[in-house]
């Protein structure tokens, strides 16, 4: 059952409120990556093309505790107006400047909904949050799913149905607890589960999962957590006391690449090491290149994995690059997404 689509909504002459996920990374007040802005454009264009009289776009940006000039939507508003020069578009200020956003305060929801006749939820990256702009407004206005939200649910959702095999799951990164749920649910269905990053250390000590996983044989170890620390390749068990594993080693790279290239379905979330530092980037790069080269339905999620793909120019070579981090994980865990559940089904 899918939420009803904006494609079926009569928007001509209507004032529409849209929740997009314009929570982009900022560096020195500048937008460091536009992926989420680009991904929100098709829905906005559809509404304008179909004659909406006003399109008010709202989003959160960062995690402010109240009004914070450093997290103003201004740079995003400017960029959006460059990309779509139409004065029916209005970009509201950061929803999290109002404390009622994260508590889903009905008063703030009413304030957001005020003056609009229809609500379109397109912020896939935020639908795991039951906030005023994701759930509150959808209870006040007739709500529809935007094009990005629909597509994300479809692409990610297809991993939950019948998949072409072998199905290879690749997981890494530092947020181990966030990912165990997905490993429990989706990992049991995969033919091979490859684990790198910090995740591997934890699962080596104690594997709470009900199936076998492939852990690294070797590791690039460093004497300290520094980009230019003394480093070398070690068997996983031979890492000197006090040293840190900051990437998977060459044997593991080859093994993981081999498994990935034979896959027909892939889900990858989380880097294999500290890829921001070039000396510890080879593992993540090998996985990204493997996923891009595989003749498979490949889905990549999570901000770090997407950043790695973007930096390598490989984003267009995967089947689906999800704009959702936490939301994608919760969907694949089988959890209900409050921002989706509130939209009437088609």
Question: How many whole angstroms separate alpha carbon 78 and alpha carbon 29?
Answer: 12
Judge contact between 280 and 274, C-beta under 8 A.
yes
125 binds, among Mg ion, ligand 3PG, none (CB under 5 to 8 A by kind): ligand 3PG
CB of 66 to ligand 3PG, least distance (A): 15
Window 84-113: residues binding ligand 3PG (CB under 6 A): none
Question: Considering CB under 6 A, how many residues would be counted as binding ligand 3PG?
Answer: 8
Is 142 a residue that touches Mg ion (CB under 5 A)? no
CB of 263 to ligand 3PG, least distance (A): 26
Closer residue to ligand 3PG in complex, CB, 252/322: 322
What residues contact residue 4 under an 8 Å CB cut-off, 6+ apart? Answer: 144, 145, 343, 344, 345, 346
Cis status of the peptide bond prior to 214, with omega within 30 of 0:
no
Judge contact between 123 and 134, C-beta under 8 A.
yes
Closer residue to ligand 3PG in complex, CB, 133/171: 133
CB of 138 to ligand 3PG, least distance (A): 17
63 binds, among Mg ion, ligand 3PG, none (CB under 5 to 8 A by kind): ligand 3PG
Centre a 10 Å sphere on the Cβ of residue 224 and count the other Cβ atoms it contains.
13
CB of 236 to Mg ion, least distance (A): 30
Is 21 a residue that touches ligand 3PG (CB under 6 A)? yes
Window 299-338: residues binding ligand 3PG (CB under 6 A): 325-326
Is 14 a residue that touches ligand 3PG (CB under 6 A)? no
Question: How many whole angstroms separate alpha carbon 309 and alpha carbon 315?
Answer: 5
Contact region with ligand 3PG (CB under 6 A), list: 124-132, 142-150, 162-170, 179-187: 124-132
Question: How many whole angstroms separate alpha carbon 280 and alpha carbon 277?
Answer: 6
Contact region with ligand 3PG (CB under 6 A), list: 123-131, 214-222, 241-249, 313-321: 123-131
Residue appearing with tokens 């090998």 = 286
Contact region with ligand 3PG (CB under 6 A), list: 26-34, 125-133, 227-235, 255-263: 125-133
Residue appearing with tokens 């510890």 = 280
Is 125 a residue that touches ligand 3PG (CB under 6 A)? yes
Q: Which of 337, 275, 260 is nearest to 309 (CA)?
A: 275
In the chain, what's the furthest Cα-to-Cα distance?
A: 69
CB of 188 to Mg ion, least distance (A): 25
Is 326 a residue that touches Mg ion (CB under 5 A)? yes
Helix, strand, coil % over all residues of the chain, rounded to 5: 40, 20, 40
Question: How many whole angstroms separate alpha carbon 282 and alpha carbon 345?
Answer: 45
Residue 338 tokens read as: 């409050």
Where do contacts with ligand 3PG occur on this chain (CB under 6 A)?
A: 21, 23, 63, 125-126, 129, 325-326
């Amino acid at each position: 059952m899918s939420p009803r689509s904006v494609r079926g909504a009569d928007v001509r002459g209507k004032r529409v409120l849209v929740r997009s996920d314009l929570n982009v990374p900022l560096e020195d007040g500048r937008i460091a990556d536009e992926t989420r802005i680009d991904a929100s454009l098709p829905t906005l264009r559809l509404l304008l093309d179909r004659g909406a009289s006003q399109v008010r776009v709202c989003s959160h940006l960062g995690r402010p505790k109240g009004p914070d000039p450093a997290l103003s939507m201004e740079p995003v508003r400017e960029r959006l107006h460059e990309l779509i020069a139409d004065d029916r578009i209005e970009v509201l200020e950061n929803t999290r400047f109002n404390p009622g956003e994260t508590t889903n305060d009905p008063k703030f929801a009413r304030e957001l909904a005020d003056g609009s006749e229809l609500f379109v939820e397109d912020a896939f990256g935020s639908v795991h949050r039951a906030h005023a702009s994701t759930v509150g407004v959808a209870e006040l206005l007739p709500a529809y799913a935007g094009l990005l939200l629909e597509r994300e649910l479809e692409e990610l959702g297809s991993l939950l149905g019948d998949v072409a095999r072998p199905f290879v799951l690749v997981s890494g990164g530092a947020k181990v607890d966030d990912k165990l749920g997905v490993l429990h649910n989706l990992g049991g269905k995969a033919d091979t589960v490859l684990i790198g990053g910090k995740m591997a250390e934890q699962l080596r000590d104690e594997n709470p999962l009900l199936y076998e996983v492939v852990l690294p044989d070797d590791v690039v170890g460093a004497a300290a957590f520094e980009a230019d620390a003394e480093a070398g390749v070690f068997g996983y068990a031979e890492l000197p006391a006090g040293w840190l594993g900051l990437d998977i080693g060459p044997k593991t790279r080859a093994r993981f690449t081999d498994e990935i290239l034979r896959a027909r379905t892939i889900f990858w979330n989380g880097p294999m090491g500290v890829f921001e530092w070039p000396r510890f980037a080879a593992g993540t790069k090998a996985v990204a290149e493997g996923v891009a080269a595989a003749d498979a339905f490949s889905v990549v999620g999570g901000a770090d994995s997407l950043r790695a793909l973007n930096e390598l120019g490989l984003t267009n070579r995967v089947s689906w690059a999800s704009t959702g981090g936490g939301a994608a994980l919760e969907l694949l865990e089988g959890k209900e997404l409050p921002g989706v559940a509130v939209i009437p089904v088609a």
